[in-house]
Amino acid sequence: MKTFILLFGLVGSSLAYGQQSINGLVESPPLSTVRLLSSNDRPLDFSSIENYTNGQLIQNYCQLEVKSNHSWVLSAVLNDYSGVGGILTSSPDLIKVKVQGTNQFVSLVPGVPIPIFVSNNQLLRNSYVIDVWVDPKLKLGDHSIKQLQLSFQLASN
Amino acid sequence: MVMINGFMVYYFKYSTKIHNFGINYAPTMKKFFLPLFGVLAAATVQGQIAMSSTPPVAASLESNSNSINVVQQMPLVFSYESIDDYDVDQVIGNAFTIELAPRESTKFLFCQVVFLGPPQIGLAQRLGLKLRNPINVPYSGDFNHISYLSPQPVKIAEIGKLSPNTLQYDVVLRKQTQMEATGSFNFTLIFSIIDP
């Protein structure tokens, strides 16, 4: 009897109004990217003693766009230090970077990703301006040309 | 002289997590669910018989002016492959058609979206339907715009006596500006047609 009542109720409700459904799927894997929007890439001239004692600050060195659908951490890597000899290893504070809006420069270590910023909002897209401080501390005095290369990478946090 | 040059752009793509959902019934619920399964099985058999030949469906639609038949034309799968995909609306064109019975008075067509699994309010609010060829189908709003869905039924069309009996719809997943939950999310679109 209960079964009959349940069956009658289902049929009755289906006739009261028409209803149908279809199924779908949203696949949203973790995705992220960092892009270089602009750069202020220029040679630095260490021709005075002050350039060595105080270093040189390159403001607005580059602008990065970070796009991610999940929490992230941005790291900087000092990639190419060939030709510099042992200077970098003996001067760990030679290259420092800072995300504008933060307080402290972060010293880079050759070949090692160093976190410089962590996502602090829920926006899918953010852009950041990076300052670079080159501080040789009297250790680049051999009149040779040194080429350095920075890269930035993104990882999930 | 120290020169700093060159940047590398890194792009990370991660594998997709797939969530499986299951329902565990307690043995004491057998009395309730066994009759229900019987009804569902009967409905399934009836549906297969109806789809095997055209006349029974037509007869059914004519006999009940509130009948509705949703025919899926395309898989309703939104798959983000790049982070840039979030910048634009994702559109599945001509995703499904709705077949309606002839009617003597205006009917309201409602739709709601139900996502399975954890709460995904953002996804539900971004999912919408767009009517193609909206001739003689007045909307509650401007039919050129997309009707965005919600977990509650949303009126997507008013079907007049002279409105066409077959409606074509695109499914749209609106572009995104905020982070949302990542993963694979199943959803169901439920259509209802009722008298005003």
Looking at the DSSP assignment, which residues form a beta bridge with residue B77? Answer: A25
Distance of CA A154 to the CA centre of its chain: 5
What per-residue confidence (pLDDT) applies to A93?
A: 77
- pTM for the complete prediction? 0.70
Through-space distance between the first and last CA atoms of chain B, rounded to whole angstroms:
80
Token pair recorded at residue A144:
């040779």
**A153: which chain B residues are within 8 Å (Cβ-Cβ)?**
8, 10
Q: Is the CB of B169 inside 8 Å of chain A's CB atoms?
A: no
Q: How far apart are CA B6 and CA A147, in angstroms?
A: 10
Mean residue pLDDT across chain A: 81
Say what the pLDDT of residue B161 is.
86
pLDDT at residue number A113: 94
Best B12, B89, B167 residue to mutate vs chain A (most A CBs within 10 Å) = B12
Q: How far is A53 from A72, CA to CA, in rounded Å?
A: 36
Cα nearest neighbour of A5 on chain B: B35
Nearest to B90 by CA among B171, B181, B185, B177: B171
Asked if B189 lies within 8 A of A25 by C-beta distance, the reply is no
Residue A71 backbone zone (phi > 0: left; psi -120 to 50: alpha; other: beta): beta
Q: Say whether A31 sits in a helix, a strand or coil.
A: strand
| C-alpha–C-alpha distance, residues A8 and A23, integer Å | 27
The helix/strand/coil state of A41 is: coil
User: Is 80 exceeded by the pLDDT of residue B150?
Assistant: yes
Q: Over the Cα atoms of chain A, what is R_g? A: 28
Go through the domains of chain A in sequence order and give each one's CATH number: 32-156 (2.60.40)
The backbone region for B44, taken as left when phi is positive above 0, alpha when psi lies in -120 to 50, beta otherwise, is alpha
* Domain parsing of chain B, residue ranges: 67-194
Q: Tell me, what's the ipTM?
A: 0.77
- pLDDT in the model for residue B42: 35
For residues B114 and B5, what is the distance between their CA atoms, to the nearest angstrom? 51
Q: Do B192 and A79 touch (CB under 8 A)?
A: no
Task: Give the pLDDT mean for A101-108.
Answer: 92
Q: Answer whether A148 sits within 8 Å of B186, measured CB to CB.
A: no
Q: Is the pLDDT of residue A105 over 50?
A: yes
Nearest to A68 among B83, B177, B188 (CB): B83
Please, are residues A8 and B161 in contact by the beta-carbon 8 Å criterion? no
Task: Look at residue B111 in the predicted model and tell me its pLDDT.
Answer: 93
User: A80, B80: Cβ pair inside 8 Å?
Assistant: no
Name the residue with higher pLDDT: B121 or B159.
Answer: B159
Residues of A whose CB is below 8 A from B108: none
Arithmetic mean of pLDDT over chain B: 70
Candidate from A7-16, A40-49, A74-83, B101-110 with smallest mean pLDDT: A7-16
What integer is the mean pLDDT of A24-53? 88
- A19 CB neighbours in chain B (<8 A) are 68, 190-193
Tell me the C-alpha distance between A133 and A26, whole Å.
Answer: 45
Q: What is the pLDDT of residue A92?
A: 67
CA distances from A94 to A37, A57, A140, A149, A151 (A): 25, 12, 10, 13, 16
Residues B73 and B43: beta-carbon distance below 8 Å: no
pLDDT at B40 over 60: no
Q: Cβ of B118 under 8 Å from any chain A Cβ?
A: no
| pLDDT > 70: percent of chain B | 61
* Better-predicted residue by pLDDT, B9 or A106: A106
Q: Taking CB atoms and an 8 Å limit, are B36 and A6 in contact across chains? A: yes
Confidence of residue B36 (pLDDT cuts 50, 70, 90): very low
Instruction: Count the neighbouring beta carbons within 10 Å of the beta carbon of residue A103.
Output: 6
Distance, CA of B124 to CA of B173 (rounded, Å): 9
> Which fold does the domain B67-194 belong to in CATH?
Immunoglobulin-like (2.60.40)
Give the chain B residue whose CA is nearest to the CA of A43: B3
pLDDT digits (tens, 9 = 90+) for A42-87: 777 777 888 878 888 999 999 999 999 999 999 999 876 555 544 5
pLDDT band at B127 (very low <50, low <70, confident <90, very high): confident
Q: What is the pLDDT of residues A132-147, one digit of tens each?
A: 998 877 665 555 556 7
Most confident of A84-93, B46-55, B116-125: B116-125
